[in-house]
Amino acid sequence: MTHPLIAREGWLVLLAAFAAALIATWLVGWWSIPFWIWALFALQFFRDPARVPPADADAVIAPADGRIVVVEKVRDEYLDREALKISVFMNVFNVHSNKSPVDGEIKGRWYTPGSFVNADLDKASTENERNALHIATARGDVTCVQIAGLIARRILCYVRIGDNLARGQRYGFIRFGSRVDVYLPATARAEVSIGQKVTGGRTILARW
């Protein structure tokens, strides 16, 4: 699915921000600078560049831009299994468009209301507002979880049970700092390490 360079989720915000900056410039001149700073921040936040995923069929790709904060074996509470968990933390300067890490069919979707603690913390996975997808693939099951952060107050997910996703396909958006957890079969091999920066739709997180 194609989409514009600026995420549609930000169009109204940008319209309001630049309108306010222009009006402030007309009314107060140089005192309008804070309005322009906010407008430019909003513009960079809602950017959504097109990405071409790697062709490697064994690759699981990053669902978001950001920094790796977790790579460990855990219990996947959604599918009740042992899994390899890889978490990507997004700060307010990252692209916040979320992309499918694999090719597959949506078999389950769970929304859980919750808190808004710093998404960089481990407890964000269990305490924060989140939206989880079960994606069934020919190679195994994947759980992909959008998690709201300290500032984020809106998780957007545009797919339903029965929909099919392609690797790198855009399926959602989280407004402001947040996190995405990916749970893979325990036999998957991580290709990233904690602290590494990744690019959504492009960086290889793991291999089957």
DSSP state letters, 37-68 = HHHHHHHHHTB---------TTEEE-SSSEEE
pLDDT of residue 6: 78
Catalytic residue among 87, 97, 178, 193: 178
pLDDT band at 120 (very low <50, low <70, confident <90, very high): low
- The mean pLDDT of the chain is 88
178 classed as catalytic: yes
Query: Which region among 25-34, 106-115, 150-159 has the lowest average model confidence (pLDDT)?
Result: 150-159
Contact 64, 99 (CB under 8 A): yes
- Residue 109, CA distances (Å) to 30, 88, 140, 163 in order: 49, 20, 17, 11
Closest Cα to residue 159, out of 141, 146, 148? 146
Listed in sequence order, the residues at least 6 apart from 193 whose beta carbon sits closer than 8 Å to its beta carbon are: 68, 71
Residue type for position 120 = D
Q: Which segment, 25-39, 70-84, 112-126, is predicted with the most confidence on average?
A: 70-84
pLDDT band at 189 (very low <50, low <70, confident <90, very high): very high
Task: Tell me the whole-structure pTM to 2 decimals.
Answer: 0.84
Q: Is the pLDDT of residue 127 over 60?
A: yes
- What is the average per-residue pLDDT within 61-66? 95
pLDDT of residue 153: 57
pLDDT of residue 44: 76
Contact 120, 137 (CB under 8 A): no
* Residue whose tokens read 């630049």: 18
